[in-house]
């Protein structure tokens, strides 16, 4: 079945470090791909998305490129801030399955000053 696998956390970085959180997926159809962020004590917020191969989603300095050949959607940011500390979820949606999202297990990021 369809699934999403993320790199395990927690990931701890110093401020201004480069961030990569790996995400790979398995899907039978043509999924849309998403990154959601969950700040402490809050619900999930959409960070970025990509709906077809080679699309790049970007927001707040974060980027991810939909790579069909490697079935990946890695999240990157060139210079993280303390305020980026959160849990990041990669997710996919396949259209013929009622629009439901399939989530990875989440990766906790902690950024130290």
Partner 1 sequence: DADVTQTPRNRITKTGKRIMLECSQTKGHDRMYWYRQDPGLGLQLIYYSFDVKDINKGEISDGYSVSRQAQAKFSLSLESAIPNQTALYFCATSDTAGEQETQYFGPGTRLLVL
8, 53 Cβ separation under 8 angstroms: no
Annotate each residue in 1-30 with x if it binds partner 1 (CB under 8 A) or - if it does not, as one string: ---x--------------------------
99 touches partner 1 by CB under 8 A: yes
Q: Using CB under 8 A as the criterion, what x/- string covers residues 61-90 for binding partner 1?
A: ----------------------------x-
What is the 3-state composition of the chain as percent helix, strand, coil, each rounded to the nearest 5?
Answer: 5, 50, 40
Q: Which of 43, 64, 66, 73 binds partner 1 (CB under 8 A)?
A: 43
Query: Is residue 93 a contact residue for partner 1 (CB under 8 A)?
Result: yes
**Residue entry with tokens 């998305």:** 49
Closest CA to 49 of 23, 26, 29, 70: 23
């Amino acid at each position: 079945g369809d699934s999403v696998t993320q790199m395990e956390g927690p990931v701890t970085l110093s401020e201004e470090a480069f961030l990569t959180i790996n995400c790979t997926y398995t899907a039978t159809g043509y999924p849309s791909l998403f990154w959601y962020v969950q700040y402490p004590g809050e619900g999930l917020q959409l960070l970025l998305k990509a709906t077809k191969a080679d699309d790049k989603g970007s927001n707040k300095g974060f980027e991810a490129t939909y790579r069909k050949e490697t079935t990946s959607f890695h999240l990157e940011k060139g210079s993280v801030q303390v305020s980026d500390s959160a849990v990041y979820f990669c997710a996919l949606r396949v259209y013929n399955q009622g629009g439901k999202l399939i989530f990875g297990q989440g990766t906790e990021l902690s950024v130290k000053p």
